[in-house]
């Protein structure tokens, strides 16, 4: 396997210096149906920073089949798809067979239904919090319905008019935080099983494809002959629920920057609604809690960070 040969070259001191190859106008990307990625100079610059650090980490991976699993994780829309695609292109240019898998094919519900479930979880949690606090009554129930219909029940600005709404919002956010990135939302078992098969030398894998409609769900059998590295681009690629990852890479960003990326990519739903903003904030907290496991952390400006530097940077946000 090429990873093992690369390992031998480095041990012998014969590994050649790496020079970024020129990217063509279009390169292969991940396997999420209908995903649209736009590679810009920022993505290339970040991939160029990561790749020289990634190669020796791959060489250090110990697998009898010469295989390794890398995850590129971070907030929604931070550039995972683009950077994963570039890293895969660079690896192939080095003679290392690589497949890019999108973790977004492995939630338990299609995107539209999962968005609805997130909102349901938030609202049920909020209502239960109000009831538990003794602040729920018929008039507030009517007010809440109006706020929900207007999409404003998660808006912190509404608390100025309805102070009791803070209890609803805090309880809803707490319950939503338990749901996001959990096994209730993501099928970690299925994807973990695929990772295990890959690392055990499987010659082919049945991989899930998920579109935007209930009928857009199918599996493709993908040939894994000559594939040494699987790159999984996924928000939850560094989760405690997910096993078998050799090299987690964290792309850091603030919720505001993530929101800007989502607008540019025209993702599902109301991209700048108060509820979407809350989801991004909770995702950020989850990523921060997992960051200590990342082998490489890249700042929003494209600089490699130690975990201590990352913590210091996030404390300033």
What are 38-72's pLDDT values in tens digits?
899 999 999 999 999 999 999 999 999 999 999 99
Burial class (CB in 10 A: 0-12, 13-18, 19+), 186: buried
More reliable by pLDDT, 131 or 314: 131
Which range among 41-45, 146-150, 156-160, 271-275 shows the weakest confidence by mean pLDDT?
271-275
* Pick from 156, 180, 158: nearest CA to 170: 156
- Chain-centre distance for alpha carbon 215: 24
Distance CA(144)–CA(176), nearest Å, equals 18
Q: What is the pLDDT of residue 222?
A: 98
Give yes or no for residue 266 having a pLDDT over 60.
no
Burial class (CB in 10 A: 0-12, 13-18, 19+), 146: exposed
Q: What is the pLDDT of residue 17?
A: 83
C-alpha separations of 218 from 99, 196, 197, 225 in Å: 19, 21, 19, 22
Counting residues of the chain whose pLDDT is more than 90, the rounded percentage is: 78
Pick the CATH number of 2-19+33-107+204-315 from 3.40.718.10, 1.10.357.10, 3.40.50.720, 3.40.50.300: 3.40.50.300
Burial class (CB in 10 A: 0-12, 13-18, 19+), 169: buried
Q: For all residues of the chain together, what is the average pLDDT?
A: 91
More reliable by pLDDT, 253 or 270: 253
> Is 270 within 8 Å of 119 (Cβ atoms)?
no
Give the confidence band of 2 by pLDDT, cuts at 50, 70, 90.
Answer: low
pTM: 0.90
């Amino acid at each position: 396997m090429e990873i093992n040969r690369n390992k031998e070259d480095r041990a012998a001191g014969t590994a050649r210096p790496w020079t970024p190859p020129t990217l063509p106008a279009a390169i292969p990307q991940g396997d999420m149906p209908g995903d649209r990625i736009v590679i810009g100079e920022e993505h290339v610059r970040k991939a160029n920073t990561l790749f020289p650090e990634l190669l020796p980490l791959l060489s250090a991976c110990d697998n009898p089949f010469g295989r390794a699993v890398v995850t590129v994780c971070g907030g929604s829309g931070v550039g995972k798809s683009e950077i994963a695609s570039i890293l895969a292109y660079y690896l192939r240019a080095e003679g290392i067979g690589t497949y890019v898998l999108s973790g977004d094919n492995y939630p338990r519900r299609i995107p539209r239904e999962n968005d609805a479930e997130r909102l349901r979880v938030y609202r049920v949690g909020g209502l239960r919090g109000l009831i538990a606090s003794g602040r729920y009554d018929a008039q507030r129930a009517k007010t809440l319905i109006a706020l929900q219909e207007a999409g404003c029940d998660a808006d912190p600005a509404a608390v100025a008019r309805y102070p009791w709404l803070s209890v609803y919002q805090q309880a809803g956010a707490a319950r939503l935080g338990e749901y996001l990135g959990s096994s209730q939302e993501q099928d970690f078992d299925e994807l973990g099983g695929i990772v295990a098969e890959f690392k055990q030398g499987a010659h082919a894998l049945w991989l899930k494809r998920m579109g935007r409609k209930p009928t857009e769900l199918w599996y493709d059998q993908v040939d894994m002959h000559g594939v040494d590295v699987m790159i999984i681009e996924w928000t939850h690629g560094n989760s405690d629920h997910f096993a078998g990852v050799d090299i987690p890479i964290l792309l850091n960003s603030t919720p505001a920057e993530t929101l800007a990326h989502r607008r540019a990519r025209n993702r599902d739903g109301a991209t700048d609604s108060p509820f979407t903003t809350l989801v991004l904030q909770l995702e950020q907290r989850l990523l921060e809690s997992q960051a200590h496991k990342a082998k490489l952390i890249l700042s929003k400006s494209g600089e490699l960070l130690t975990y201590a530097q990352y913590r210091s940077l996030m404390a300033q946000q």
